[in-house]
Structure 1
């Protein structure tokens, strides 16, 4: 596992297109999802084609210029709860304070210390190519 490159772009219908590119089996792979806004600002739903379920994604915190913290929850498979906290940054290097605050948020959501991971930067073209 290593960092991926993710872009978020608004759609004409008010949804957001979230596209991630990452290295998998020595190939750049891209996955896209369309986030549908809910009645609550900063909260989106998306359909997981793999699991056939709806996941809820919330923007927990952002300063728009530097980072965003997202929290996702849903069901994967028969009766398997899915929860994930993600830290998206506009740079590959994170400030220590940001990492500490993110880890504290994760712990407040019940994640254990060993489940909080900061992915290394890959030495591959998938995220290092200019747009």
Structure 2
């Protein structure tokens, strides 16, 4: 849920896009039998892949964010992202509206005039989730971001999850240069 990638999504919306070949969102499938109630709770952003030009410049400086997903009215999700930047903790909130397909959500950011589709592609609910976000803010230009969420900053079988995400990102058209695994933040996101 890029949404779990909130601060980085905001940066991406302000940049030009790289020419990465990524599949159309219509070619991406959501988690079969997605169970929203099991998806709720705390997640950490462990991996990212993006076709945004800013990503290559900033990826070495990125660190984990903590996202808390709670149920909202009418099947929507509240997403609260906490991250550390410029010596301060920041919080970013958004509402993910259901699209009618379980695991597929949409939100709109009036500040940038941008539409965002978020698809939960794979999750075991207990350890990890992988999703893809497509954002459109300029006609003809689209941002794609793949995200790996984990329930812990130090997930069990971390190497296996990283390889699973790398394969997922490759299947979405991202190269190794477009993939980053994030280090733990020193502040703002505890495991509590």
Match of 1:122 in 2: 185
- Give me the TM-score of the superposition, normalised by structure 2: 0.64
Superposition deviation, residue 96 in structure 1? 1.0
Aligned length: 129
Superposition deviation, residue 11 in structure 1? 0.7
Q: More strand per residue: 1 or 2?
A: 1
Q: Distance in 1 between matches of 2:73 and 2:99?
A: 16
Q: 2:172 aligns with which of 101, 109, 117?
A: 109
Structure 1 segments, 4+ long, off by >4 Å, are: none
Superposition deviation, residue 70 in structure 1? 1.0
Match of 1:90 in 2: 151
Superposition deviation, residue 78 in structure 1? 4.9
Superposition deviation, residue 41 in structure 1? 1.4
Q: Distance in 2 between matches of 1:48 and 1:103?
A: 29
Q: More helix per residue: 1 or 2?
A: 2
Match of 1:13 in 2: 74
Q: Distance in 2 between matches of 1:83 and 1:76?
A: 12
Q: Distance in 2 between matches of 1:122 and 1:102?
A: 20
Q: Distance in 2 between matches of 1:106 and 1:80?
A: 20
Match of 2:53 in 1: none
- CA-to-aligned-CA distance 1:34-87 (integer Å, 9 cap, x gap): 100112111000112332121100000011111111110021345321100111
| Structure 2: 5+ residue stretches without partners | 1-61
Cα pair 1:73 1:84 within 8 Å, conserved = yes
